[in-house]
Amino acid sequence: MGEDKSAIKSGTPMLGVLGPLSSQTKLFSSRTKPRGDSFIFRMHYRTTFVFIMACCLLVTATQYLGDKIACLVDKDSLSQKVIDTYCFISSTYTLPSTKDMQEGLQVAHRGLGPDVPEEETVYHNYYMWVPYVLFLQALCFYVPHWLWKMMQTDKVMNVLQGLNYLIVDQEQRKKKEDTMVDYLYYNWGRHNIWAIKYVVCETLNLLNIILQLIITNQFLGGEFMTYGTQVVEFMNYEPQNRSDPMYEIFPRITKCSFHRYGPSGSIERHDALCVLSINILNEKIYLALWFWFLFLLVLTILLMLYRMATLLFKPVRSKLMLGRNARYGSRDTAYFVAEKCDFGDWYLLNTLSRNMNGPVFAEVLKKLTRKMEEGDDATLKA
């Protein structure tokens, strides 16, 4: 213990101070392992990652377990398998000029009709790329967490030393509290870089959700940004006056043109009507993604505004610490510590308070305040 105390007084790094007790944290499962991130941060790399991966697996299973596409051809001499495969790997198309025509009377299916030269044609080939795009998007939501995991070096877990769990042995608890206070005191002012790294990762979350909105919008031909609002408006229209936006973006019936050489060597064109049953699933997935991305974007923007306020304004940090310590500890103690905090120290204390029992954290602040006051008195006497 003599060596440990001398290491603390010389201002050694965190692991040197907490070495004797940090090994105990390995006994705790990684599932309950404390981290220095927020609930909204976890919504990016946990909730969103799992949700998008589940959608990816669902689409992949549907494509491999059922027919990806089924096309009706106009010639019996053509192989059904060849036409289905060709239309799936090339592309199918619809005619926007016929989307408002009455189905069954003016056109066989909405969005289809006889080909007219120079008529606008919308090609659809995104459906075969949906699983791959979803998989890459899921990875993008995990990247900021992976970077933060690499940079934080388990600081929060090592500082806590298991104080986030209920410790019945009072002597053991006090020993860990004293070790935590020693670390906080002798490393005061050295956590700014660590905290700024976290703010950078939070910023990456915001940039990523914006990027995913742009990528998805481009992937779906520029229709994703207004997809959710169009669906909501569609639900409020009268049945005879509404056009389903899900059908327009994710058509279930499309056309496909196949060319081959005839008996005389001339080029023959064969039209096929193709049923894209996979789009019934795709339209629901992207509708859910639209609402989730919007919800997550709003939460992340609010989080970044909160983070900027805590980063730039000390009174905000002081009030937050007072609020957390008001129930179990002294307001004067919390205010004293908060006034001496820069952003890095405040963020570490704030993170510890979220992972610790209220009375235990209040006791740590009380001991830290006493140690700071003793240090100030010693400085004045010197």
Per-residue pLDDT of the chain (382 residues; tens, 9 = 90+): 444 444 444 444 444 444 443 444 343 333 456 667 889 999 999 999 999 999 999 988 876 666 778 888 766 667 778 888 888 888 888 777 666 666 655 666 776 766 666 667 778 788 889 999 999 999 999 999 999 988 877 788 888 887 777 665 788 888 888 899 999 999 998 999 999 999 999 999 999 999 999 999 999 988 899 998 888 888 777 655 556 778 888 888 888 888 777 777 778 777 888 888 888 889 999 999 999 999 999 999 999 999 999 999 988 888 888 777 766 767 788 888 888 889 999 999 988 888 888 888 888 888 898 888 887 555 444 4
Angle at 282 (CA atoms; ends 280, 283), nearest 5 degrees: 70
Q: Is the dihedral of CA 70, 75, 80, 83 positive or negative?
A: negative
Quote helix, strand, coil % in the chain, to nearest 5.
Answer: 65, 10, 25
**In this structure, what token pair is assigned to residue 223?**
């229709």
CA neighbor of 356 nearest in space, from 108, 171, 166, 152: 166
Residue 70 pairs in a beta bridge with 275
Phi-psi category of 342—alpha, beta or left, where left has phi over 0 and alpha has psi -120 to 50? beta
pLDDT attached to residue 117: 66
Residue 270 pairs in a beta bridge with 258
pLDDT attached to residue 239: 54
Statement: the pTM of the whole predicted model exceeds 0.85: no
* C-alpha separations of 57 from 52, 117, 131, 213 in Å: 9, 41, 7, 21
CA neighbor of 54 nearest in space, from 285, 211, 243: 285
Is residue 355 within 8 Å of 156, Cβ to Cβ?
yes
CA neighbor of 224 nearest in space, from 206, 210, 242: 210
CB-based contacts of 254, cutoff 8 Å, min separation 6: 92, 93, 94, 111, 112, 124, 273, 274, 276
**In this structure, what token pair is assigned to residue 354?**
């979220």
